[in-house]
Amino acid sequence: MQDAEFHVLVDELFNSLEDELDAQELDLDIDSSSGILTIGFPNGTSVIISRQISAHEVWVAARSGGFHLSREENWFCKVTGEDLASLLSRVLTEQLGETVTITVS
């Protein structure tokens, strides 16, 4: 994958995630800037999703840990065996304290 293609994929991913979270009307503060999508919670914690250009990966930093996802058919974490939608659903639910379901992958 070329860097330009990677940037397009991640930009589309971030836009889709923002749209999906906004549509759920959850008590979250969502900010996207400088290649980073930050999801802030009422308890002061955050989940940070960033692009790692040199590795062509998306990294997720959450209270429960850090996760590296590479693009196969979908964004996938080899360590946990989760796709991005499953991983984000889990970490967002853990930090918010209510069920969050993400379908974007």
Q: Which CATH superfamily is domain 3-96 in?
A: Frataxin/CyaY (3.30.920.10)
Reported as a single tens digit per residue, the pLDDT across 44-94 is 999 999 999 999 999 999 999 999 999 988 899 999 999 999 999 999 999
> Taking every pair of C-alpha atoms in the chain, what is the biggest distance, in angstroms?
39
Has residue 35 got a pLDDT over 90? Answer: no
Q: Which residue carries 């996760």 as its tokens?
A: 67
- Confidence (pLDDT) at 72: 82
| pLDDT of res. 28 | 93
In this prediction, residue 38 carries a pLDDT of: 97
Question: What is the domain partition of the chain in residue ranges?
Answer: 3-96
CA distance 86 to 34: 25
Specify the residue for token string 């930090």.
95
CA distance 11 to 91: 21
Tell me: pLDDT of 105 over 80.
no
pTM over cut 0.85: yes
Element (H, E) at 7: helix 3-23
